[in-house]
Amino acid sequence: MRLHVGEAQEVLGERILDYAPSYRLSPLAAQLFGGERVWTYEYPFQETDAKIMALEFHELGECIRTGQQPEVSGEVGRRAVALVNGLLESGRLGAPVSIDAVEEVEVDAYQREIDEHFGLV
């Protein structure tokens, strides 16, 4: 990882943290990822994914327990998924697609194949 400061200065490695003095992981994330101010980690994909999912499930449970709103709303999450799926749909169609078209299922050539495989449609 590298940080470019101005046109000439490049900051490498752990020195990047000097530019984010308030950066701290939550206690649970720090426990899962090896410290409060980690700047990098090297876990296999499946382990990283499991740790991230654990954090998300923990947040969901806390929101249910306390009545607080999650950091990312359902609407924002849905649009983020539609954005990524839009890239896949656009590639399948060979044409631009809008996030709205994906959300409204006006475009689903890529996703339909997956849904059919799992018997969802």
Tell me if residue 12 falls in helix, strand or coil. Answer: strand
CA distance 40 to 1: 8
Res. 8 pLDDT band, cuts 50 70 90: confident
State pLDDT tens for residues 66-114: 999 999 999 999 999 999 999 999 999 999 999 999 999 999 999 999 9
DSSP state of 10: E
36 neighbors 24 (Cβ within 8 angstroms): yes
**Cα 13 from chain centroid (whole Å):** 23
State pLDDT tens for residues 46-66: 999 999 999 999 999 999 999
Non-local CB neighbours of 46 within 8 Å, separated by 6+ positions: none
Reading the block at residue 84, the tokens are: 């990524």
> To which residue do tokens 């990283």 refer?
48
